[in-house]
Amino acid sequence: MMIYCVPYAPIPNRAAFEALLPPARLARLQGEGSGALFAYALLAFALEQHAGVCARNAVAYTEAGKPYLVGHPEHFSLSHSKTHALCVVAEFPIGCDIETHRVVSERVRRRVLGEAESSGDFFAQWVLKESCVKLSEDAVVGTDVWGWLYHEVPGCTAAVVAHKAFKRPPIMILSAETLFSFADEKWA
């Protein structure tokens, strides 16, 4: 399992960055912020590093819109917050989430966690819950989930979960410049 994270920065060559994305995702990107663009560029980087796979040609979508790899055994999960993108590639199904620490209203806390879960580390609970939803296509979270929290990303909390126990891998925090260079070398 490999976990990659990157902070956002102004994109110097948007065309090269967009060329990393699967055509179906690029078409849906219109009107979204740069978070999704960074997440998919990070996926392209991670898949090439982890499995030698070109994401542009290998990503498809379920009817529910969940991305998956066609013809490759690897699984992945993506997330993006207000400041960072996160990508996990593994040999088994996984879910991930990242959230930037910020002031959150009590209404949002209740909506995200419900009345019974409103105490404790809000961001840890939030990312674990979102990761579980991403792991389970039907959005039903069972009890057979293992995971890890990550506080290494400045100003953020992240989580990675799976339906099996796994050793806690380190999170690799890349610079935006590393991702920009990858895009320029690969597709410019």
Per-residue pLDDT, 121: 85
Domain that holds residue 143: 2-187
CATH of the domain at 140: 3.90.470.20
Q: How many domains does the chain have?
A: 1
**Contacts for 29 with CB less than 8 Å, ≥ 6 apart:** 18, 21, 36, 37
Q: Tens of pLDDT along 135-173?
A: 986 545 566 889 999 999 999 999 999 999 999 999 999
Proportion of the chain above pLDDT 70, given as a percent? 90
Q: How confident is the model at residue 30 (pLDDT cuts 50, 70, 90)?
A: low
Q: How confident is the model at residue 22 (pLDDT cuts 50, 70, 90)?
A: confident
* 3-class state of residue 95 by DSSP: strand
Per-residue pLDDT, 64: 78
Per-residue pLDDT, 171: 96
Q: Which amino acid is at 36?
A: A
Q: Which one, of 25, 76, 26, 71, lies nearest residue 47 by Cα?
A: 76
